[in-house]
């Protein structure tokens, strides 16, 4: 993708979705806030402009939307570049303003070019890589993200990105062994440590979850026999 072509395509994309261009949209604070439940996941308590974040593990797309939600509430645009089926009701429950969300799908071999275009046009880009680029292309993307002061949430491991990795998950129902699934407790490892989230919680959003329960039994004087 040539540097001369990208701005033209970005303008066309902006016109199609009613987006602002990066020169205007990306001015302002260095940090975009996130929902309170997610602030502890990030070293700066928010999404830093010009930064690429790597999200991996089950539920990474859901976490990406949750991270972008507060930005859309404040009027910033988010574009999701993914082939996954999106339930817009579930996306809205996570806090995303649907009138600030655009969804794009391209052939897997074109995702990197499409991402370069979107970085020129919107504040937050959620992207599912279609292939692993060569190291030189990876570095070029990182440089472009920094230059355009965009925020990119990649649903894959990525060298040089800030890593958020989802691990163990546990669904809860209305009662043991019966009823519909109500909420999901997920472990998330980030640069700030291990965290537990309800994602989704009982309302379809995101909220802090308690750490794994540990029952301490003390045996000694005065301890009644079982």
Task: Please tell me the class of the 5-161 domain.
Answer: alpha beta
The per-residue pLDDT for range 36-47, each reduced to its tens digit, is 999 999 999 999
The per-residue pLDDT for range 211-220, each reduced to its tens digit, is 764 433 343 4
Orientation of helix 111-119 relative to helix 135-148, angle to 10° = 20
Q: What is the pTM of this model?
A: 0.82
Question: pLDDT value at position 162?
Answer: 94
- For the sheet containing 51-56, what is the strand order? 101-104, 78-81, 124-127, 151-154, 51-56, 162-175, 178-190, 193-198, 207-208
Alpha carbon of 222 to those of 124, 139, 202, 218, 219: distances in Å? 60, 65, 41, 10, 8
Residue extents of the structural domains in the chain: 5-161, 164-208
Question: pLDDT value at position 205?
Answer: 97
Q: Name the more confident of 219 and 17.
A: 17
Provide CB contacts within 8 A for 74, sequence distance 6+: 32, 33
Helices within the chain (DSSP H only): 5-17, 22-25, 60-73, 88-93, 111-119, 135-148
Least confident of 23-32, 60-69, 115-124, 213-222: 213-222
Query: Which token pair is 28?
Result: 């302002």
Question: pLDDT value at position 131?
Answer: 85
Contact 111, 133 (CB under 8 A): no
How many residues does this entry show for the chain? 226
Least confident of 21-30, 73-82, 194-203: 21-30
Question: pLDDT value at position 132?
Answer: 86
């Amino acid at each position: 993708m040539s540097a001369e072509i990208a701005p033209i395509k970005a303008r066309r994309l902006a016109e199609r979705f009613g987006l602002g261009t990066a020169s205007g949209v990306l001015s302002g604070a260095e940090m975009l806030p996130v929902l309170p439940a997610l602030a502890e996941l990030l070293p700066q308590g928010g999404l830093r402009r010009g930064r690429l974040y790597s999200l991996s593990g089950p539920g990474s797309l859901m976490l990406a939307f949750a991270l972008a939600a507060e930005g859309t509430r404040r009027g910033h645009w988010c574009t999701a570049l993914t082939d996954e089926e999106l339930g817009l009701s579930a996306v809205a429950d996570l806090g995303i303003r649907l009138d600030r969300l655009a969804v794009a799908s391209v052939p897997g071999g074109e995702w990197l070019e499409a991402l370069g275009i979107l970085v020129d046009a919107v504040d937050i880009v959620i992207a599912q890589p279609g292939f692993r680029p060569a190291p030189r292309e990876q570095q070029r993307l990182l440089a472009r993200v920094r230059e355009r002061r965009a925020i990119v949430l990649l649903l894959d491991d990525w060298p040089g990105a800030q890593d958020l990795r989802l691990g163990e998950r546990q669904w809860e129902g209305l009662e043991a062994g019966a009823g519909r699934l109500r909420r999901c407790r997920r472990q998330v490892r980030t640069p700030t440590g291990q965290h537990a989230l309800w994602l989704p919680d009982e309302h379809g959003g995101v909220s802090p979850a308690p750490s794994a329960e540990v029952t301490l039994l003390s045996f000694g004087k005065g301890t009644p026999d079982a």
